[in-house]
């Protein structure tokens, strides 16, 4: 691997991870030698680029592309350029070349770095940006706004021919800046000087460098607004993912292509009612991605958690750009024609879809659904969390063991992608803790589609000797904890029903075979589980009016889980030491004895439970049921 590409990748990652220079890994970097241009591919974030990912392109082919006859129609022209650009890619490279490759080829420097610093866009999006540029950066050149893509490359070629010498700094109105140089060190130094100069200009004009943002959206606003927005900003049977942030004034219009692509052109800050948002859709052709409750909160919406978080980053950056433009004559927004080109540009749609990393795979049964699992740091809960993530859900790993939950969530994100899981701490037997968990999830996602009440504990013992402390502990978690979770989950899920719209939600309690038949010397556990089925039936009758189904899944013994298989405290070890299984001389003997009690010859596994959960979600005509998943060990009858 060439040393220059290793250096380029390192600098790209450093700059691409710094919000002063780009947001969401945007921008582009390149290196060229006599024959080849190496450039970041479309859809790959600067913050993550590796040396081997730079696409190698034939420079002669790129130069010929600039001379090729082109159709007059803009769409047809861009389609032809796409084909010629692909043909210029050398066989050893993979990926789609950046649409900016011709422009990088035009700048006659070994290294070219194109970034979108917020301070730079404060000037390039300013009404008086050109005049400020001449004053602050007399060695640079300025190009008025041109549609991105090959149209920009053609205009730049004609523009650069008129220059006495190739400029090292090229500012693009409403689009950022290109800097070329013989070394990356020189380019980084120039960027630092540029940002220092612009910051000084803002301070001199009395413009603050930080965006005023309220600390956080208050709980009342979040719980009253976010769940409703999930439904009103969603599509059919799919709710949007909605995140809540502290209030800042959203940009009133589109500023740059990147802002427009991620956050759409216009925020909605009017009434949050079905009629108002229907009117917005009718006027714009899409739902808003940014919704403001003035003085209270900013809500951002997307089709995945990553998407929604990205919208917030873009909206925050756009608001800061508007603030900086006050030092340069106020904002110059993209015109309707300029905006329309970007909104319908295939290149940006492709780039955004790649950046999302397959977050919205439609083949998954729970795609874009938010699923909360309590007690998910280990055992059945962990298996359920992984199984639901595999089906496309955004998984909230809720557990008293927050460190364990964070590890599980991190592992799920590693396996399934960024934004596919996060952790929440909760003690299900404490109402304040449950309420805080519900609020935290609503802030992050807007609500949830599936709540799996899985947290449970076991303290076995004879009714003649079991302490009241152990009885209270088991009952507080397994019975009262279920009630508390449903109480606060149902409030959020009911609020998602906006004007009768939106899909049904699901609450699934993970019960036990001990909730279907008694368990010897295990009365506290069995009693709580029996009682919980009564709660399930009662909750189902009440919550049907809120379009919430409530069911219980009753697994058999999870022999591979820690309750049974822990090498020091598991039941297999305990039963072997206590000689509970006659003739058993090993853990394997004990396990075989208990497996023999199951007609299907094995214990229950997480995937068995996941299938039952999926059944309850997908079956529209099932509520108030207790579904045995016991391999035939427990068979229900009337």
The catalytic site residues sit at: 525
Distance CA 152, CA 149 (A): 5
Helix (H, G, I), strand (E, B) or coil at 360: coil
| Secondary structure (DSSP) of 76-126 | HHHHHHHHHHHHHB-TT--SPBPTTHHHHHHS-SSEEEEE--HHHHHHHTB
Nearest to 442 by CA among 622, 608, 265, 217: 217
Q: Contact, 79 vs 73, CB < 8 A?
A: no
**Per the structure block, which two tokens stand in for 127?**
């009404």
Owner of token pair 């943002």: 213
Angle at alpha carbon of residue 366, lines to 349 and 492, rounded to 5°: 100
End-to-end CA distance of the chain, in Å? 71
CA distance 384 to 395: 10
| C-alpha 351 chain-centroid distance | 16
Q: What are phi and psi of 255, to 5 degrees?
A: -110, -50
Q: Is 363 exposed, middle or buried (0-12, 13-18, 19+ CB in 10 A)?
A: exposed
Please enumerate in sequence order all residues whose Cβ is within 8 A of that of 274, keeping only pairs 6 or more positions apart, or say none: 232, 498, 499, 501
For 539, the 3-state DSSP assignment is: helix
Distance CA 139, CA 157 (A): 19
Is the Cβ–Cβ distance between 128 and 201 less than 8 Å?
Answer: no
Task: Extract the tokens encoding 393.
Answer: 């859900």
CB-CB contact of 511 with 553 (8 Å):
yes
Residues 6+ apart with CB under 8 A from 316: 211, 213, 245, 248
The alpha-helical segments, DSSP class H, found in 449-578 are 468-475, 481-495, 523-543, 562-565, 571-577
Helices (H), 211-272: 219-232, 257-263
Give yes or no for a contact between 64 and 102, defined as CB atoms under 8 angstroms apart: no
In sequence order, what are the residues at sequence separation of 6 or more whose Cβ sits closer than 8 angstroms to the Cβ of residue 634? 513, 516, 517, 554, 556, 628
């Amino acid at each position: 691997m060439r040393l220059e590409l290793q250096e380029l990748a390192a600098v790209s990652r450093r700059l691409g991870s710094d919000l002063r220079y780009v947001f969401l890994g945007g921008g582009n970097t390149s290196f060229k030698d006599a024959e080849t241009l190496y450039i970041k591919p479309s859809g790959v974030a600067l913050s993550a680029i590796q040396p081997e990912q730079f696409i190698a392109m034939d420079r002669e082919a790129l130069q010929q592309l600039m001379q090729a006859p082109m159709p007059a129609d803009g769409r047809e022209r861009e389609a032809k350029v796409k084909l010629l650009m692909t043909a210029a890619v050398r066989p050893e490279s993979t990926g789609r070349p950046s649409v900016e490759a011709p422009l990088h080829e035009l700048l006659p420097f070994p290294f070219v770095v194109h970034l979108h610093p917020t301070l730079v866009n404060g000037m390039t999006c300013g009404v008086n940006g050109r005049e400020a540029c001449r004053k602050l950066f007399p060695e640079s050149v300025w190009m008025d706004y041109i549609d991105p893509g090959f149209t920009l490359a053609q205009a730049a070629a004609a523009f650069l021919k008129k220059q006495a010498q190739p400029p090292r700094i090229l500012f693009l109105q409403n689009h950022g800046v290109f800097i070329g140089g013989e070394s990356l060190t020189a380019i980084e130094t120039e960027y630092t000087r540029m940002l220092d100069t612009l910051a000084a200009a803002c301070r001199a004009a009395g413009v603050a460098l930080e965006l005023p943002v309220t600390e956080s959206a208050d709980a009342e606003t979040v719980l009253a607004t976010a769940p409703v927005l999930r439904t009103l900003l969603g599509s059919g049977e799919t709710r949007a993912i909605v995140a809540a942030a502290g209030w800042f004034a959203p940009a009133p219009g589109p500023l740059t292509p990147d802002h427009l692509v991620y956050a759409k052109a216009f925020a909605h800050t009017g009434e949050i009612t079905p009629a108002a948002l229907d009117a917005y859709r009718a006027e714009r052709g899409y739902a808003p991605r940014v919704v403001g409750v003035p003085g209270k909160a900013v809500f951002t919406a997307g089709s995945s958690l990553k998407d929604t978080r990205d919208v917030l980053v873009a909206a925050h950056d756009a608001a800061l750009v508007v603030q900086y433009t006050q030092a340069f004559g106020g904002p110059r927004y993209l015109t309707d024609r300029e905006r329309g080109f970007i909104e319908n540009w295939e290149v940006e749609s492709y780039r955004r879809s790649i950046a999302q990393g397959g977050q919205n795979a439609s083949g998954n049964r729970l795609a874009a659904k938010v699923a909360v699992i309590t007690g998910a740091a280990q055992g059945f809960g962990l298996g359920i969390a992984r199984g639901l993530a595999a089906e496309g859900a955004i998984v909230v790993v809720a557990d008293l063991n927050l460190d364990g939950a964070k590890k599980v969530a991190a592992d799920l994100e590693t396996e399934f992608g960024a934004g596919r899981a996060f952790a929440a701490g909760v003690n299900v037997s404490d109402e304040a803790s449950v309420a805080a968990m519900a609020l935290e999830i609503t802030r992050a996602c807007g609500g949830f589609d599936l709540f799996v009440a899985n947290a449970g504990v076991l303290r076995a013992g004879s009714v003649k000797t079991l302490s009241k402390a152990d009885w209270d502990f088991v009952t507080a978690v397994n019975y009262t904890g279920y009630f508390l979770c449903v109480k606060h989950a149902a409030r959020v899920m009911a609020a998602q029903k906006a004007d009768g719209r939106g899909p049904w939600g699901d609450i699934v309690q993970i019960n036990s075979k001990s909730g279907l038949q008694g368990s010897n010397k295990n009365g506290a556990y069995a009693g709580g589980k029996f009682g919980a089925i009564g709660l399930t039936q009662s909750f189902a009758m009440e919550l049907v009016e809120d379009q919430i189904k409530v069911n219980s899944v009753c697994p058999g013994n999870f022999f591979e889980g820690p309750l049974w298989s822990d090498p020091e405290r598991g039941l297999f070890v305990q039963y072997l030491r206590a000689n509970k299984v006659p003739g058993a001389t090993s853990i394997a003997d004990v396990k075989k004895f208990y497996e023999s009690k199951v007609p299907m010859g094995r214990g229950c596994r997480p995937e068995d439970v996941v299938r039952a959960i999926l059944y309850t979600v997908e079956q529209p005509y099932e509520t108030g049921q207790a579904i045995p998943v016991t391999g035939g060990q427990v068979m229900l009858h009337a």
